[in-house]
Chains A and B, each alone.
Chain A
Amino acid sequence: MTPRIGVVTFPGSLDDRDAQRAVRLAGAEPVALWHGDASLHGVDAVVLPGGFSYGDYLRCGAIARFAAVMGTIVEQAANGLPVLGICNGFQVLCESHLLPGALTRNQHLHFINRDQRLRIESTSTVWTSEYAEGQDIVVPVKNGEGCYVADEKTLDELEASGRVVARYVGGNPNGSSRDIAGIANAAGNVVGLMPHPEHAIEDLTGPGTDGLTFFTSVLKRLVDA
């Protein structure tokens, strides 16, 4: 059976359709999930898309964390449900305490929108298993509050345990600590990433197809399971 991957739409989500499309092109069945519906409708994995959920009021991701669907996602993530948070989704994962640290205003205050080179630092997560370790990829980055911060102890722990998933190469777009673009939880099923792999899945509409491997990685894991 084709694995089903849910994509949550919050009020203010922007990239939910692109994420659904990436899921489809990777070979899985996209399932639209709604923020106010606590049911995950039996999906095998979940993507929290980019955008400005709840208008970024208070802090990015702060209100989305209390959406009905998030209660179920936090619960299921503890049982191993693969969850990928992209951009605003990464912010939601940090606010939900599924990932450590926080994302703050870009150091230079500008909203950055460009194709960005990343180095895949960890292939032990369910979302990056099909990349080669140390592989460079190019995907779009577009954020105003993408500066990853955490205390030194947390950063050291993330590095030591191989939980830094991707790093910016060739220029840090937002001032993130240690050039961190993405991190994972200890089990490797929850990944947060500031850049947008779902915008790099076809030559026609993106800088290439480097981003598709996030989606094919989880698909392979689900099919093999």
Chain B
Amino acid sequence: MAAVKIVVDVMLKPEILDPQGQAVSNALPSLGFAPASSLRIGKHVELELEASDEQAALEQAEKMAETLLANPVIEDYTVRLA
């Protein structure tokens, strides 16, 4: 068994409106920045799993992402080694 570090990134699907991202985007010009043509906010999850190997850890994390970390109805996710 080894500790495997994994990163899960969760983003709202492109077709789902991200009002939080829009609000942040709208705040940029007031700070003197050029407006962003797109700004979307997601979640970044860092996991450390005990597993027999990296592949097993990735499979576990994939299941976690699918059932809890992301809601596949509104969100996409990616799972990768840290």
- Whether the pair B71, A102 counts as a contact (CB closer than 8 A) is yes
Task: Give A63's nearest chain B residue, CB to CB.
Answer: B68
In the complex, identify which listed stretch (A48-56, A104-112, A161-169, A205-213) lies at the interface while the others stay far away.
A104-112
* C-alpha gap A62/B66 in the complex (Å): 12
Q: Is A68 interfacial (CB 8 A cutoff)?
A: no
- Whether the pair B71, A149 counts as a contact (CB closer than 8 A) is no
- Whether the pair B74, A102 counts as a contact (CB closer than 8 A) is yes
- Whether the pair B71, A59 counts as a contact (CB closer than 8 A) is yes
Q: Is B39 interfacial (CB 8 A cutoff)?
A: no
* Chain A residues positioned under 8 Å from B23 (CB to CB): 109
Q: Is A95 interfacial (CB 8 A cutoff)?
A: yes
Q: Is B29 interfacial (CB 8 A cutoff)?
A: no
Q: DSSP class of A's interface residues: helix, strand, loop or mixed?
A: loop
Distance between B77 CB and nearest chain A CB, rounded to angstroms: 12
Q: What 0/1 readout, one digit per residue, does chain A (55-73) give for beta carbons within 8 Å of chain B?
A: 0001100100010000000
* Chain B residues positioned under 8 Å from A106 (CB to CB): 19
Size bin of chain B's contact surface: 10 to 19
Q: What 0/1 readout, one digit per residue, does chain B (46-82) give for beta carbons within 8 Å of chain A?
A: 0000000000000000000000110101100000000
* Chain A residues positioned under 8 Å from B16 (CB to CB): 104, 149
Cβ 8 A contact of B74, one of A66, A104, A108: A104
- Whether the pair A107, B73 counts as a contact (CB closer than 8 A) is no
Known A-B contacts A102-B74, A149-B74; A107 and B69 likewise in contact (beta carbons under 8 Å): no
Known A-B contacts A58-B68, A62-B68, A109-B23; A101 and B73 likewise in contact (beta carbons under 8 Å): yes
What are 30 A-B interface contacts by the 8 Å CB criterion? A58-B43, A58-B68, A58-B69, A59-B71, A62-B71, A66-B68, A94-B73, A100-B73, A101-B73, A102-B71, A102-B73, A104-B12, A104-B16, A104-B17, A104-B74, A105-B18, A105-B19, A105-B20, A106-B19, A107-B17, A107-B19, A108-B19, A109-B19, A109-B20, A109-B23, A147-B17, A149-B73, A149-B74, A150-B73, A175-B17
**Shortest 6 CB-CB distances between A and B: which pairs?**
A102-B73, A102-B74, A109-B19, A105-B19, A107-B19, A109-B23
Known: A101-B73, A108-B19. 8 other contacts (CB 8 A): A59-B71, A62-B68, A62-B71, A66-B68, A94-B73, A100-B73, A104-B16, A147-B17
